[in-house]
């Protein structure tokens, strides 16, 4: 976890603006609510320079605050496919690149990569961004998290606490490349 924190700090060093934490998903579909729950937990911490928002889904007007931000962490639930002979993931972290091919087309959906591309296209800038995913196992109608998602949420919030709380302390860390996918196991 510590190395991830350092790597994110390095990628955002020297940049100004807020850090966005955008948790999205349906709060009526059990584990799908983990993104909004995490965003609300972070919003409740009151970190200076951090804007955490819980949303049912990504919306295009996020492009403007994204363009002004220092970094963005998108938080979403993910299916938890069986991984025989391997420990279950607690959460995953993926460095995102802007990509217009992930635009939702005819429907109302959006994708964080498309939002980054929208920020770039409209405002000439998009921040370094990551997608933090918490695996879930129950997406049926309901308002409680499964044990798996609850554990993932606890770990993900702890990770974000560390990252957001450590931002100022990490200024002197040497820069390292962030790998395309990492998970804590």
The SS3 assignment for 129 reads strand
**Shortest distance, position 156 Cβ to another protein, whole Å:** 17
Q: Which is nearer to another protein, 120 or 166 (CB)?
A: 120
Q: Does 32 contact another protein by CB under 8 A?
A: yes
**Shortest distance, position 176 Cβ to another protein, whole Å:** 28
**Contact (CB, 8 A) for 101 and 84:** no
Q: Contact region for another protein (CB under 8 A) — 4-12, 48-56, 144-152, 160-168?
A: 48-56
Q: Which is nearer to another protein, 5 or 135 (CB)?
A: 135
**Shortest distance, position 68 Cβ to another protein, whole Å:** 14
Q: Which is nearer to another protein, 104 or 165 (CB)?
A: 104
Q: Which is nearer to another protein, 85 or 108 (CB)?
A: 108
3-state secondary structure the chain: CHHHHHHHHHHHCCCCCCEEEEEECCCCEHHHHHHHHHHHHHHHHCCCCEEEEEECCCCHHHHHHHHCCCEEEEEEEEECCCCCCCCCCCEEEEEECCCHHHCCCCCCCCCHHHHHHHHHHHHCCCCCEEEEEEEECCCCCECCCCHHHHHHHHHHHHHHHHHHHCCHHHCCCCCCCCCCEEEEC
**Contact (CB, 8 A) for 11 and 126:** no
Q: Does 26 contact another protein by CB under 8 A?
A: yes
Q: Give the phi and the psi of residue 40 in degrees, each rounded to 5.
A: -65, -35
Contacts of another protein in 81-140 (CB under 8 A) = 100-101, 103-109, 117-118, 121-122, 139-140
Q: Which is nearer to another protein, 65 or 127 (CB)?
A: 65
Q: Which of 3, 59, 168, 169 binds another protein (CB under 8 A)?
A: 59
Q: Which is nearer to another protein, 106 or 172 (CB)?
A: 106
Binding site for another protein (CB under 8 A): 25-29, 32, 36, 40, 53-57, 59-61, 63-64, 77-79, 100-101, 103-109, 117-118, 121-122, 139-142
């Amino acid at each position: 976890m510590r190395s991830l924190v350092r790597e994110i700090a390095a990628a955002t060093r020297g940049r100004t603006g807020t850090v966005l934490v955008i948790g999205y998903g349906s709060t009526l579909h059990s584990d799908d609510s983990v993104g909004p729950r995490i965003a609300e937990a972070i919003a409740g911490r009151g970190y200076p320079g951090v804007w955490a928002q819980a949303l049912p889904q990504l919306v295009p007007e996020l492009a403007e605050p994204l363009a002004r931000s220092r970094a963005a962490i998108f938080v979403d639930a993910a299916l938890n496919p069986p991984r025989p002979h391997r420990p279950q993931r607690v959460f995953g972290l993926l460095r995102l690149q802007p990509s217009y091919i992930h635009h939702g087309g005819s429907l109302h959906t959006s994708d964080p990569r498309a939002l980054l591309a929208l920020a770039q296209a409209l405002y000439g800038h998009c921040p370094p961004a990551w997608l933090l995913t918490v695996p879930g196992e129950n997406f049926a109608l309901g308002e409680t998290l499964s044990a798996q998602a609850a554990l993932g949420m606890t770990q993900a919030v702890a990770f974000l606490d560390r990252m957001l709380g450590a931002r100022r302390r990490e200024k002197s860390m040497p820069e390292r490349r962030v790998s395309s996918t990492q998970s804590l196991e």
